[in-house]
Amino acid sequence: MRQTTPTPLATVPPTARIAVVSANWHTEIVDGLRQGAKKAYDAAGGSLALSEFTAPGAFELPVMAASLLQEGFDGVAVLGCIIKGETIHDEVIAHAIAQGCTQLAIKTHKPVGFGVITANTLAQAEARSADNPNNKGYEAMVAVTGVDRKSTRLNSSHTVISYAVFCL
């Protein structure tokens, strides 16, 4: 796995309501992603409490994210872990989640940070959820806060911008 340096952080607007939705599978891995997301949010100066929610599984992440954005959240990071099995089930689920998050960001014009690890092995997932610069939860939140900040500036100029950010 490549080593990266932490992405520069944008400052979170003081009134931004940001949420994290985590899948309830591979909880040790997802806990690491959640900690990474919190670390990025705090480092970006998030002043409101980071709202956290749990989805029954990874497949439900886009639906829960959609509900939160509809309720007035300014951005959401979805976190989960899918590990390759004996069939292509992991590919089907990962593709559905990615498509759902992309369409959600396009439809709502709000950032959806994709922090769903798609790994071949548990060791790969652990490496991507550890407390290091490669933490995909951290990267997903950096994307949410950065895009939210840019969207705020651009929307004040009557320009609409939308993004889905993927951290694989």
Cα 75 from Cα 65, distance rounded (Å): 9
Q: Which amino acid is at 54?
A: T
Percent of the chain residues topping a pLDDT of 90:
73
Cα 145 from Cα 113, distance rounded (Å): 9
Task: Name the pTM for this structure.
Answer: 0.85
Residue 56 has pLDDT above 90, yes or no: yes
Q: 77-91 burial, b for 16+ CB within 10 Å, e for fewer?
A: bbbbbbbeeeeeebe
Task: Give the residue-averaged pLDDT of 145-160.
Answer: 49
Cα 15 from Cα 32, distance rounded (Å): 26
Residue 68 has pLDDT above 80, yes or no: yes
Residue 2 has pLDDT above 60, yes or no: no
What confidence score (pLDDT) does residue 5 get? Answer: 54
Cα 52 from Cα 62, distance rounded (Å): 15
Pairing of strands 112-119, 75-83: parallel
Cα 28 from Cα 123, distance rounded (Å): 12
> Is 26 labeled as catalytic in the residue annotation?
no
Cα–Cα–Cα angle for 148, 5, 166, nearest 5°? 45
* Helix, coil or strand: residue 117: strand
Which residue of the set 89, 95, 109, 158 is catalytic? 89
